[in-house]
Amino acid sequence: MKRVSWRSGFGLLLLVALSMGILVACSGAPATPTPTATLAPAATATLAAGETPVEATPTPRALDWTTPTATSVPEPLGEYGGILRMATRAYRSVVDGSSIVNRTFFAPLMSQVIRYDPDNDATSREIIGDLATSWEVQDGGLTYVFHLRDDAYWHDGTKVTSADVLWTWEWFRTLGGSRGNWRHVFESQEAPDDKTVIMRFHSVWPDFLGFLAYGGSSSFVFQKKQMEEYDFMNTEEGPAPTDFIGSGAFEIESSSAAAGVVGVRTDNYYGFDENGYRLPYLDSYHSFGIVDEGTRNAALMGGQLDVVTTVAFENRHAAEVTAAQPRIKVLQGGPRFWYVQFKNAAPFDDYRVRKAIHLAYDRWANLAITEYEERFGAVWGWTTPSMGGLPLEDLHAMPGYRQDKTADIAEANELMDAAGYLRDDNGTRFTIPVFSVINQAYVDNSTLYANDLKVNLGIDFTLDIPPDNTIQQERSSACDYVYYARRSSVNVSSQMPATLLPDPGAGMEICGWNTPQYLRDMLVEYGSIVDPAARSALIQKAELAYYEDQDVGYWHFPLHYGTYLQAKWDYVTGKGWEKDWYERLSYLGLQEVYIDQSKRR
């Protein structure tokens, strides 16, 4: 067995991390991460011949630096020591934010009740316990009982209890914005003791466990005592990142826009690897916010970064980066769903125009252009077949979604003529402003699809790009557009695909559109169904009805599915890191990531 070294390569990595400040900061070098105290691996009994190992909860023991015998404890699954250097597109200072960018900085600080297994496949999404050791679903899906572990501690040394979980759920249900939609099905919650939490719903919410496992502010558990001291239930001003008390594998040592976020290993994390060694493996992590894509990628290729995270690494750069440095691996970081939506104003208040545009898009050709690899994209409808959407053989035979565009383009032009939008001498019917996010990947994809309309339908376009993200968000919220093209990581959902409709729960109007009653009724019915086949059948029925509805049909529809990417050097590894699946950094929390020093040299 190799000697376990907590500080293997630490001096070299520290020098490299300090030099990273030249790239990301004009106001000074980043803070130096300080390694925390040595942690002991768990005891594992030596077995006599013929004995069968008995699973037991690992307990810490003192480190023994002597050479082990053949019957001693197995080696840890990962290599201890080192700093992981990551970058995303911008610095964030809000720990409770749910965006991928926020999670890149602060997810390692936090724990969840349950989480997705990092070592599962892209399709299975197996849920495992984090703070919970077990749970039961009772009363036909109306009651959930979670049993919490007894060895989880906050970073101030106090134990995590059911009171913390209840406070967190109350906070998120009250203030959680659009992702706090479980308030509509919530009935009550209670904690009969310090290690048991019970959640009750008045109607079935089959996706509750997946929701809790997702990661981010909808899943992180906050310390009740600290949050009440900040009156966080009534204010948006929470603790600074360095003051935030978490229960995850790392604590925040320093945090600033110039120097990034430094997280260091905690002494009391409850996680162990499968051989009984305490996690995490890393001494620390250092996350930078680097706005410019070229600077991020140059730092990655030059070895000043180990990982560029989801959303920050664009498909259009993947081939360039991997060609320059073959040891950099491109991995799926999460789904992105390109879509377009219209304001309820001329010419898009005419169903025929909206349907014609849907028919004129060449989704298959654009998919091949925008996505790094064919396996990282697909033409889907409302939601994926695995989540209950239309079977692909059926969807791809439907107008608009089929590969052969001949019949689609002919029908689209007939619809435009019937709507009274005729071509002029230049072959143009009218010109539209294409509203898009300033990010170049958004602009590229918006232009690609708008060109389909110009070539196939005679609809010319101009680009309407706001000067910055703040103005873009303000205009989007105010419906200050007529044609809006963008992407999202939440457009396809395992829930009723309500993102393609105005809010079905409240019947809310969005940019002039209202959800018809029959779709609201379907949502109510969906919430009471547990059987997956029946749920799928209802999703498919609603999707087909939506396409045919001349009042709201095609006001918002998918273009194609793609993939957010992230890139890493081959020496960054760990449980699940060679698999393609959603938001690896969020779900692992870095506790199972390690640096293979033999590959790094």
How sure is the predictor about 16, in pLDDT bands with cuts at 50, 70 and 90? very low
**pLDDT at residue 600 in the model:** 85
> What is the predicted pLDDT for the residue at 589?
66
pLDDT at residue 358, as a whole number: 97
Give the model confidence (pLDDT) of 384-412 as tens digits: 787 788 899 999 999 999 999 999 999 99
Q: How many other C-beta atoms can be found within 10 angstroms of the C-beta atom of residue 509?
A: 13
Mean pLDDT, range 41-70, rounded to an integer: 38
pLDDT at 163 over 70: yes
Looking at residue 529, its pLDDT comes to 75
Distances (CA, A) of 285 to 32, 35, 56, 92: 11, 10, 31, 16
Query: Domains in the chain, please, with CATH?
Result: 1-107+249-327+570-601 (3.40.190.10), 111-247 (3.90.76.10), 333-563 (3.10.105.10)
pLDDT in tens, 474-499: 998 899 999 999 887 653 343 444 44
Tell me the whole-structure pTM to 2 decimals. Answer: 0.76
Measured CA distances, 225 to 140, 156, 169, 231, 576 (Å): 34, 11, 14, 10, 34
- pLDDT at position 145: 98
Please state which of the ranges 89-98, 238-247, 534-543 shows the lowest mean pLDDT. Answer: 89-98
Q: CB atoms < 10 A from the CB of 155, how many?
A: 19
**Minimal CA–CA distance to 271: which of 437, 392, 69, 112?**
112
Give the integer Cα–Cα distance in Å for 280 and 273. 9
Q: What is the pLDDT of residue 51?
A: 38
- Per-residue tokens: 437: 């996010």
pLDDT tens digits, residue range 73-114? 789 999 999 999 999 888 877 776 555 556 678 888 889 999
pLDDT digits (tens, 9 = 90+) for 316-359: 889 999 999 999 999 887 778 898 999 999 999 999 999 999 99
Q: Which residue has the tokens 């466990």?
A: 209
Angle, helix 293-301 to helix 315-324, in steps of 10 degrees: 30
Rounded distance between C-alpha atoms, residue 601 and residue 597, angstroms: 6
Report the C-alpha gap between 424 and 100 in whole angstroms.
Answer: 46
Instruction: Please give the pLDDT value at position 72.
Output: 63
Pick from 149-158, 515-524, 540-549: least confident: 515-524
Q: Identify the pLDDT of residue 65.
A: 34
Structure confidence at residue 49 as a pLDDT band (50, 70, 90): very low
Residue 182 phi/psi, 5° resolution? -75, -5
pLDDT of residue 11: 34
Instruction: State residue 334's pLDDT score.
Output: 73
3-state class (DSSP) for residue 204: coil
Average pLDDT, rounded, for the chain:
80
Residue 310: name the closest of 599, 107, 544 by CA: 107
Residue 116 corresponds to which tokens in the numbers above?
């997705």
CA triple 221-223-229, angle to 5 deg: 140
Residue indicated by tokens 């060694």: 277
pLDDT higher than threshold 50 for residue 138: yes
Q: What is the pLDDT of residues 420-446, one digit of tens each?
A: 999 999 999 999 999 998 888 889 999
Per-residue confidence (pLDDT) for residue 581, from 0 to 100: 57
Helices (H) and strands (E) in the chain, counts: 18, 18
pLDDT of residue 571: 95
**Higher-confidence residue: 8 or 337?**
337
pLDDT at 196 exceeding the cut of 90? yes
What count of Cα atoms within 13 Å lies in the side-chain half-sphere of residue 267?
Answer: 8
pLDDT of residue 102: 64
Q: Of 11-15, 129-133, 513-517, 573-577, which range is least confident?
A: 11-15
191 pLDDT above the threshold of 50: yes
Q: pLDDT band at 381, cuts 50/70/90?
A: confident
Residue with the larger pLDDT of the pair 580 and 223: 223
The confidence score (pLDDT) of residue 566 equals 87
Q: What percent of the chain has pLDDT over 70?
A: 77
